[in-house]
Structure 1
Amino acid sequence: MHGEYKVPGGKLVVVDVEIDDGGRLKDVRVSGDFFLEPDDAIERIDAALEGAPSDTDTAGLKARVEGALPPSAVLFGFTAESVAIAVRRALAQATDWSDYDWQLIHEPPQPPALHMALDEVITAEVAAGRRPPTLRVWQWDSPAVVIGSFQSLRNEVDPEGAERHGVTVVRRISGGGAMFVEPKSTITYSLSVPEAMVSGLSFADSYAYLDDWVLGALGDMGIRAWYQPLNDIATEVGKVAGAAQKRMVGPDGGAGAVLHHVTMSYDIDADKMTEVLRIGREKLSDKGTKSAKKRVDPLRRQTGLPREAVIERMIESFRSRYGLSEGRLTPEETARAQELVRTKFASEEWTARVP
């Protein structure tokens, strides 16, 4: 069995392993493009994992690796935990980015409720095996507030402010916090991927794993960015993006798919945002800031590029790493999404399901 794990902002860890008749690890070989001292520490890591029960969790495998390393050991670009994660991914027969033929969907501007529906439909199609893993870049046709699946509508949105600014309120299928968007103020994208891609990863690790490509894309534009647990992407000047996920089961309860979507701040009108969203002082103070303007840092000032150029560079960065063919929504997918808008995402029952 073969497993790989790219450390967010770090190096690649690779594990090749077999399981003996007693259900224990054997012939363990750890490799990668990381740095490690002393030289024989790699052999100590292999030996520490040899004979471990195959059901040992990440914490247990991490403890074995740490216990085998001398105090003088230096691990650069990886950690004992990343080795453990690579082992778990090997045992789970996890897949990697390069195992798939990725498809891009980049449609003209669409209504907020339709975007919510498309996320559900596309991810369900990936789970059913009828669609390849998909990167969808959103374009908004009107301003909106998107609240998390479990947020209280009245606690998050000021209805008078929303009405005054012509803002539509929609609820997505994933958890997390509210976001304020205008057609040219944010960059939003979704990844719909087979569940096998995150096999062996904890929920938190899957965020970092699926965010890693965009850290590289930002780096290509001269922005040093990093994953900030649980679901943020940050730079030296503050948060620039927030992510959310939803796991969906496959047909008949089989292997499913993961929806991972991200909204990045390009040039948000923070004053308008505070009139529409009920952003409490406690939430802002938790981020170490005193105003919403400081908390939402626009990419426009950091890149110096038009929004469309940032999007194009992100797409090209993804394509250069993993390949990406142009795709479109099928008529069936569009029809199903429109029906979901009518029956779910544009309904008061769904939007106010947590009043």
Structure 2
Amino acid sequence: MAKNWRLILSGPADAYTNMAVDEAIFFAYCEKKAIPTLRLYTWDPPALSLGCAQDPFEELDLKKCVRANIDVVRRISGGGIIFHDQELTYSASCNKEDIQAFGSIADSFKSFCAFLLSMYRTLGLCPVFANEAVPRLSLQRPSVFCFSSCAKYDILIGGKKIGGNAQRRKKDFIFQHGSIPLEFDAKKATSFLKKDPGRIKEKVCALNEAAGREVDLGMLQGILVQSFKETFGVSLDEGELSSWEKTLALRLREEKYSLQDWNLRRHEHRLEEAYVAA
């Protein structure tokens, strides 16, 4: 019998709200106040997100971000900077058993990303993990900008990286979220960085470019949900945040994610708690 998951279709929200809701759901799951949950959402207005251990003063032109009204938010996951604009973002809160991931952190990351390969294939594309297409010595070291690096379980289409995914662990509990860009403006996305990542257009693609057509957001959501169900053998029933989660998300937004103390201060996490393939 398929295990039941909750599906939350949040729609657009600002950066602080999106990260607060993600953490509230994960915390609720860890506290046994929620079942495994897949959440889909978008970003409005566009924003930059940082990995949990990044230093924004070293890596971002913060004054330019302020002038352009671009919010900067720190994630609870690791990895590099992502510019969130025309994209679909997913987040999932579960445990190892829910996705049958009993190996290393890297193994669980590969297991989790399998549904993305299925989704892209349904769209008629030919995605591969980077380690299947790129010689080991050619895999790039982590970069401050997520999309400019390429690790073994990043997803490539036509030799270019698409999206980025990051994970946070708490014992056997897993939180993973990822970006699926429909469009990617390399010039705008990198204009807020202090250092030019270089040749980004040669390394990165977005979904519309890869598909050679404009992919409808609603259709993409439907394909993602179906791919997730088939990959993990689960059912997904659409639901809403509980009142407990809503209260916690509001508190996290106001007392954490909208504050400079969280967003602009460098945070250290142990490797097993924050893992990223980008």
In the alignment, does 2:278 pair up with 1:350? no
In the alignment, does 2:208 pair up with 1:300? yes
- In 2, the alpha carbon distance for the partners of 1:125 and 1:262 equals 20
Corresponding residue number in structure 1 for 2:192: 276
Corresponding residue number in structure 2 for 1:188: 89
Give 1:105 deviation, angstroms. 0.5
SS at match of 2:117: helix
In the alignment, does 2:119 pair up with 1:225? no
Say which of 231, 235, 258 aligns to 1:323.
235
Against the structure 1 CA distance between its residues 329 and 279, is the aligned structure 2 distance closer, same or farther, given a 3 Å change threshold? farther
User: Percent sequence identity over matched residues?
Assistant: 29
- In 1, the alpha carbon distance for the partners of 2:17 and 2:96 equals 24
Corresponding residue number in structure 1 for 2:60: 157
Amino acid of the residue matched to residue 224 of structure 2? M
SS at match of 1:101: strand
Q: TM-score, normalised by structure 1?
A: 0.64
1:156-204 CA-to-partner distances (Å, cap 9, x unmatched) read 211233123221000011111110012xx12211111124346531111
SS at match of 1:108: strand
Runs of 4+ in 1 over 6 A off after TM superposition: none
1:35-59 CA-to-partner distances (Å, cap 9, x unmatched) read xxxxxxxxxxxxxxxxxxxxxxxxx
Say which of 110, 120, 128 aligns to 2:23.
120
Mapped contact 1:175–1:245 kept (Cα < 8 A) = yes
1:59-108 CA-to-partner distances (Å, cap 9, x unmatched) read xxxxxxxxxxxxxxxxxxxxxxxxxxxxxxxxxxxxxxx75211111113
Amino acid of the residue matched to residue 294 of structure 1? E
1:205-264 CA-to-partner distances (Å, cap 9, x unmatched) read 111000001111111111111233455221123000211111125xxxxxx421011112
In the alignment, does 2:188 pair up with 1:266? no
Where do 1:245-264 residues align within 5 Å? 245-249=167-171, 256-264=172-180
Q: CA RMSD in A?
A: 2.0
Corresponding residue number in structure 1 for 2:146: none
- In 2, the alpha carbon distance for the partners of 1:344 and 1:230 equals 33
Give 1:307 deviation, angstroms. 3.2
SS at match of 2:10: coil
- In 2, the alpha carbon distance for the partners of 1:279 and 1:237 equals 24
Q: Any gaps of 5 or more consecutive residues in structure 1?
A: 1-97, 250-255, 285-289
Mapped contact 2:50–2:74 kept (Cα < 8 A) = yes
In the alignment, does 2:250 pair up with 1:338? yes
- In 2, the alpha carbon distance for the partners of 1:131 and 1:212 equals 24
Mapped contact 2:162–2:207 kept (Cα < 8 A) = yes
Q: Any gaps of 5 or more consecutive residues in structure 2?
A: 131-150, 268-278
Mapped contact 2:56–2:62 kept (Cα < 8 A) = no
- In 1, the alpha carbon distance for the partners of 2:191 and 2:63 equals 9
In the alignment, does 2:19 pair up with 1:109? no
SS at match of 1:316: helix
In the alignment, does 2:162 pair up with 1:240? yes
Q: Give the structure, 1 or 2, with the largest relative contact order (CA under 8 Å, sep 6 or more).
A: 2
Where do 1:140-155 residues align within 5 Å? 140-155=43-58
Amino acid of the residue matched to residue 227 of structure 1? F
Amino acid of the residue matched to residue 310 of structure 1? L
- In 2, the alpha carbon distance for the partners of 1:201 and 1:131 equals 25
Q: Which has the larger radius of gyration?
A: 1
